[in-house]
Structure 1
């Protein structure tokens, strides 16, 4: 299983559109107040909004207070105004009218794999900011090689809208995906597949992936892009963010298992030989000690072959 954002995608979204939807608002104001809502968030979308504001040299209004609305967006108080920034579902839940024009823009952007963030100020929709996170260039090739190597099911998990998930999945050749999933939903998917008899590997990078990484049979965190929580929770942390390293993990894991079996075989053979020789009275204590230590040296020497493994 793969998390989408930051794993199958680069994890560095960029602002693609800033649209004012109120006659008294300019696009620069929409971006500035969106940034005010996101200024203390570490979410990739929030960082992209802040980065775009800085690049355009737009000043960000300070906010007095903010509230994270999990899975929906942010509620913020700034300049004596109440701001809502997030999905259309957030505005609908707060009884903010979303115009037909705004809905058409949202649908169009999602079909382009862009994430729209709607901004409402004091209960009125004033604009939207859309962002796009590019797919990693090597992702499709790596997924194909994983299938060729015997991985039976590849599932993409994302908190994005189904329209966005579908576009990305089609680009990567993924047939099975789940959209609008929360962290606890990812955990449930892992357990569901395990209950079906699958050995589950989970690849992710964020805090919201940590429960699924911990529950999976093997959790793999993206090394550079991954959060500290994800890296600490996972069984394996990739040294860099090149998905080709997943193929090395599979190969190196297979070699490690082979070496472990060889070591068990050598240890059992040496101990069995020692028992037989000792039973015949031909093994002195000194020779027994030498034989025991020799088997330990052989195991270490055999294991050290893995050090010579080189990444392609």
Structure 2
């Protein structure tokens, strides 16, 4: 039955019960009172009876079956007041559950309300306002102050301040100019932009976020699945116990009361309502958590492996030095920039940016480009073969490294730079030194993670060992592994898992995808490479801010703690009520009232998660009895 129909039935049953109370107060009883009570019992009980019948056809023991048997028994023995009270209160409890889940999903609804409806496009020189879903790829979209951005795309003209709260959870606007990326659902606070549409309709980042949150809120935690299995065993068990009570006491009323009061309604909703509220809170804050099981795994973490570039560092490296051998520095830079102009690698972009800063004209276009994973690229430039990358690539191409070149490269690496070698098929032509700065929040985040009980913090990078060590020492990482290929990172993650280690891998979601997929919890950071991040990672930090990891961990702990509180309270309530029934201190109507109040309290406790905010700093938790060190893990590379 639909929610609206159930609500109408509940209101009608409430009116019948109020009429019955009025009759009782006026006349004290009689056939008219019984008629109203029986009618209220059958009306309010209809949705419950229907669910019990459907479950019975599938040979399932449901909670509704317990209530149905008890209500039919109460009607047979003439306990009309209690049958009416039980059916109405059970229906009211169902109503409360629905309302609580609806409120917990408010974050998703608010996201959906942010979806842009219209778009202004320029086609064939003419400006037109169309529906957002009618925008096609490569359309030129115009966005003005106050308007919502309807597509994902690249800015081709204009400057603006854009509020990306719908995507990242951050309310502080970011500046956008030519070549910057913008995302659907963002709001243009001030300025003017012309954007080429790259992703439209259901392919936009915003649409994927809504879809992912919907799926996540339906995803079940291990605890929730256990409770569902528990209910399937619990129901026939309680039916057997109620028969035993009747056999011992010969009191039908007592056995029926036992049957109804034992319904674990609050227990069944204790996990799902907490999970939905927790995932909703994360979505509002730019943290996408893919379901209840991920939430539970996130709360168990005691080790985190970080990618360096773009995660611990800003991912926006700059050229710090240029050293040429046999040619001028500008010639070397121009050559490297022309080769890297079609590359998407962050180091390549830094080289192109430096050439543009020096106003060097990029004339030649590279051909026959080959990407060497974890090593660099090979291109044909102006008819000549050119390699740009690290030592591994030079060794593979059998290009000799002279002493002068090696000495200079080592010197740059010890200073914290990445040395990019430029070579033809015979010799090294020069070295471009590039450095990436550590994120402002990285050191504080690492310190907070340690105080939070994350005992192992490891950094993996494809960068050289010298640069990696400098960043690792600056941040206080426990271990640093450098010069790794993407497959090496995935292997390292696998080697370090198990034996009491609950491990997360956090990276940018693109080149770290294999390692992210290998971890107990894969975390992708930022909206760069969003598609693969959303497909691969269990958690996506949309804001591209490392401190969002702190919010995610605290939220997971709070959600799991909330589930446990709800379960304990629900079990305790049922136990106390059953003890009251057996000692004849609790009757059917009062027991059901207390039972539904317990449902309401469980719901209210879970709703707190919707407004959860980790404003306080981490406090040092109690240390575990035995800390499992990485040294205890026998892996090939001393993880």
TM-score (norm. length: structure 1): 0.88
| Contact 1:204 1:226 (C-alpha < 8 Å) held by counterparts | no
Residues 190-205 of structure 1 correspond to what in structure 2 (within 5 A)? Answer: 190-205=493-508
* C-alpha spacing 1:182/1:97, structure 2 compared with 1 (3 Å): closer
Deviation per residue, 1:191-243 (Å, 9 max, x gap) = 22223321112221141222222222222222345643234422222242332
1:13 aligns with 2:317: yes
Q: Is contact 2:399-2:425 (8 Å) kept?
A: no
Paired position in structure 2 for 1:254: 557
The C-alpha deviation readout for 1:144-188, integer Å capped at 9, x for no partner, is 222122211111111111122112112222231111122222222
Structure 2 residue 306 is the aligned partner of structure 1 residue 2: yes
Contact 1:209-1:230 at 8 Å conserved across structures: no
- Contact kept, 8 Å, 2:555 with 2:614, in 1: the verdict is no
Alignment of 1:142-157 (within 5 A): 142-157=445-460
Given that 2:416 and 2:470 are in contact with CA atoms closer than 8 Å, whether structure 1 keeps it comes out as yes
Q: Is the 8 A contact 2:526 2:545 kept in 1?
A: no
**Aligned CA distance change for structure 1 residues 100 and 250 (closer, same or farther; 3 Å):** same
Aligned to 1:32: 334
The answer to whether structure 1 residue 308 and structure 2 residue 611 are counterparts is yes
Q: How does 1:43-54 map to 2 (within 5 A)?
A: 43-54=345-356
Moved more, 270-279 or 57-66: 270-279
Aligned pairs (5 A) from 1:116-265: 116-224=419-527, 227-265=530-568
TM-superposed CA distance for 1:134, in Å, is 0.7
Aligned-pair RMSD on alpha carbons? 2.6
C-alpha deviation, 1:68, in angstroms: 0.9
The 3 A distance-change label for structure 1 pair 213 and 245 is same
Q: Which residue number corresponds to residue 41 of structure 1?
A: 343
1:61-118 deviations in Å (ceiling 9; x for gaps):
2012200111211110121111111113322322223222211110011101111111
CA distance in 1, matches of 2:314, 2:450: 22
Q: Distance in 2 between matches of 1:310 and 1:29?
A: 54
Q: CA deviation at 1:277?
A: 7.7
Report what 2:401 is aligned to: 98
* In structure 1, C-alpha distance between the alignment counterparts of 2:574 and 2:517, rounded to whole Å: 38
Q: Distance in 1 between matches of 2:611 and 2:530?
A: 29
Where in structure 2 are there 5+ consecutive unaligned residues? 1-304, 616-639
Cα gap change, 1:184 to 1:62, in 2 (>3 Å):
same
Number of residue pairs matched by the alignment:
308
Q: Find the aligned partners of 2:392 and 2:309 in 1 and give their Cα distance.
A: 20
CA 1:175 to 1:277, structure 2 compared with 1: closer, same or farther past 3 Å? closer
- Kindly state the Cα deviation for residue 291 of structure 1 after the two structures are TM-superposed: 7.1
